[in-house]
Amino acid sequence: MHVIAIFGPTGVGKTGVAIELAGLLRNRGEDPVAISCDALQVYEGLSVLTGVASAEEQARLEHRLVGFVPVTERFNVGDYMPLAHGEIDRALAAGRTPIVVGGTGLYLRAALGELSLVKTEPESEDSELWSPETRHPTAIFGLNMEREALYKRIDTRTEAIVAAGARDEVERAEEAGPSRTARKALGFDEVLSGDLGTMQKRSRNYARRQLTWMRKVPNLRWIERGERSDAAVATEIADALPE
């Protein structure tokens, strides 16, 4: 049984593709579960700001390692790695298909392999931590799309995050006293100040860094998203999976 990994820049639609892929896997008799590899989706109470799958989406595909760390606590890849390994191992032992999905490159590698944890800052781009080995056979897919189209998606997504109540989340977190790592959530300060333009710009810059990171991932298969539906992209992934 294989582990599946779906990686890509913010706004490219990883969650929707993972959900559609889960449906295709169920049609094949498999039992999928999503395991997040996002450094900030771990925080409780920041689900809108960090783009955690909605309740309706999680009803279609169970998501693990989201919304479980109090916003007051620090959390890094050293904390994440054993949790991700445990989730993947338990899923495989139960005959389930893990779909590791997210956009934090270091967390992706932590979930799929073993890291030397000399440096543990979230979103570190230390290439010395990379290795082609994975703990289990893994099919890794990277979602990509034309840059300007991606930026438009990011701008629209940012507006939707704000409209969905991100400011209320951040104000509650601010009152509780967020940890330094929780405060790294993209848009945290901009939501408080109402600076949507800067939030969109930072999101686009982050997407560029994620695309750079994708080029470092060993054995990654690039999937051009284009304007295709989540279902169409998921079908391409399903067709490329090993038997």
Site of tokens 């590899």? 37
Q: Are 10 and 207 in contact, with CB atoms under 8 Å apart?
A: yes
- Residue 242 is predicted with a pLDDT of 84
Domain boundaries, the chain: 3-233
> Residue 138 and residue 7: Cα distance in Å, rounded?
13
DSSP H stretches of helix in 5-146? 14-27, 47-50, 55-60, 77-93, 105-112
Q: Are 2 and 97 in contact, with CB atoms under 8 Å apart?
A: yes
Closest listed residue to residue 74, CA positions, set 116, 40, 51:
40
Q: Which amino acid, one-letter code, is at 94?
A: A
How many Cα atoms are found within 13 Å in the side-chain-facing hemisphere of 96? 18
Average pLDDT value for the chain: 92
> Residue 32 and residue 167: Cα distance in Å, rounded?
33
Q: Are 22 and 34 in contact, with CB atoms under 8 Å apart?
A: yes
Closest listed residue to residue 18, CA positions, set 48, 50, 46, 53:
53
Superfamily in which the 3-233 domain is placed by CATH: P-loop containing nucleotide triphosphate hydrolases (3.40.50.300)
Q: Which amino acid, one-letter code, is at 81?
A: M
Residue 95's CB: how many other CB atoms inside 10 A? 9
Closest listed residue to residue 37, CA positions, set 74, 16, 78, 6:
6
- DSSP labels, 216-233: TSTTEEEEE-TT--HHHH
206 band by pLDDT with thresholds 50, 70 and 90: very high
Packing angle of the helix pair 105-112, 196-214 (nearest 10 deg): 40
Q: pLDDT tens-digit profile of 15-67?
A: 999 999 999 999 999 999 999 999 999 999 999 999 999 999 999 999 999 99
- First and final C-alpha spacing in the chain: 9
Strand partners, 138: 3
> Residue 73 and residue 182: Cα distance in Å, rounded?
8
- Residue 123 is predicted with a pLDDT of 46
Sign, CA dihedral 33-133-107-143, equals negative
Q: pLDDT tens-digit profile of 159-178?
A: 999 999 999 999 999 999 99
Q: Are 122 and 77 in contact, with CB atoms under 8 Å apart?
A: yes
Share of the chain above pLDDT 70, in %: 93
Q: pLDDT tens-digit profile of 61-102?
A: 999 999 999 999 999 999 999 999 999 999 999 999 999 999
